[in-house]
Amino acid sequence: MRALAHAVAVLAAVALAVFGLMRASPVDPVAAYLGPAMAQASPEQMARIAESWGLDRPAPERFARWAGQVLRGDLGWSTTYAAPVGQVLGERLGASALLAGLAWALSGVLGFALGLVAAMARDRWPDRVIRLWCYVLAATPTFWLGMVMIALFAVGLGWAPVCCAGPIGVPSDQAGLADRLRHLALPLTALTLFGVAQIALHTRIKAIEILQSDPVTLARLQGAGPGDILWRHVARNAALPGVTVLFASLGEIIGGAILAEQVFAWPGLGRATIEAGMRGDVALLLAIAMLTAVVVVAANLAADRLAPALDPRQRAR
């Protein structure tokens, strides 16, 4: 119950923060909705549009009205896509879940493996190479990495498509598996590399600590080889911090996916988030923010539940 109450408080804080930021935004939702047609719209027409959207009401009343609609299962109307917010989420959630979910899982596996290798080869050339690579990745913005990969592998070498989730002009239900994988390769690689560095560096630090512990020293004196030490002592004991960092990095993966989707024109929630922010689409942006918050909170709760399974010593706490 305490964890549930904490999750509800976090979701409420996220909703208030996003609503407040949108309220302070200089973007006029009506002007963004009309676009070039605003030059032909009279002030009275714009006022009627604002009134129909409830923009003329006080901010607390608008927030309370939105919260009441959400509790009834109504996420509101997206002015950007002229469709219910639930429909927009349903159409784009699958593409974002595929990209972010695969990148999250692959970054965890690759980061954990690199961290173990770096720890086992501490202060030798594999460790130095992995650390340098992780530092460079940690300092590299996702959108810049994506643009470099497009310029190199798509434009320069022609190994991958430039954009989109499938061939241009081909309906998504008619695109073959090979075409989908080719379009997924670049954004998935960019987003996976974005999440590797933190997990690898944290795993390396914990693994080095384990290698210096008394049980590992005793195992070496008893004739245990590097492979046995790595599997029986280092990997199993470093799994807990690795999993914790992996679940904690889910929010960063989602944030990186927003930029990656924009760079690669991936038809997911990331592009919808940017469109909603630029057009002042409060309902859609609030729904995406709340969905992201729910995923991150659920990931943290899952990490708390997995910790006793990975480390039995925590079960007695």
pLDDT of amino acid 312: 62
Of 273, 245, 300, which is closest to residue 95 (Cα–Cα)?
273
- Predicted confidence pLDDT, tens digits, the chain (317 residues): 777 788 888 888 888 888 888 777 777 777 777 777 766 777 777 788 777 777 778 888 888 888 888 888 888 888 888 888 889 888 888 888 888 899 999 998 999 999 999 988 888 888 899 999 989 888 888 888 888 888 888 888 888 887 777 777 666 666 667 777 888 888 888 888 888 888 888 888 888 888 888 888 887 777 777 777 777 778 877 877 778 788 888 888 888 888 888 888 888 888 888 888 888 888 888 888 888 888 888 888 887 777 666 666 665 55
Q: Which CATH architecture has domain 85-316?
A: Orthogonal Bundle (1.10)
**pTM, full prediction:** 0.80
Q: Decide: residue 96, CB within 10 A, 0-12 exposed, 13-18 middle, 19+ buried.
A: buried
Domain ranges of the chain: 85-316
Euclidean distance between the first and the last CA atom of the chain, given in angstroms as a whole number:
17
Distance CA 302, CA 297 (A): 9
pLDDT of amino acid 313: 62
pLDDT of amino acid 129: 92
The answer to whether the beta carbons of residues 209 and 124 sit under 8 Å apart is no
Distance CA 50, CA 56 (A): 6
Q: How far is CA 120 from CA 112, 211, 310, in A?
A: 12, 8, 21
pLDDT of amino acid 128: 92
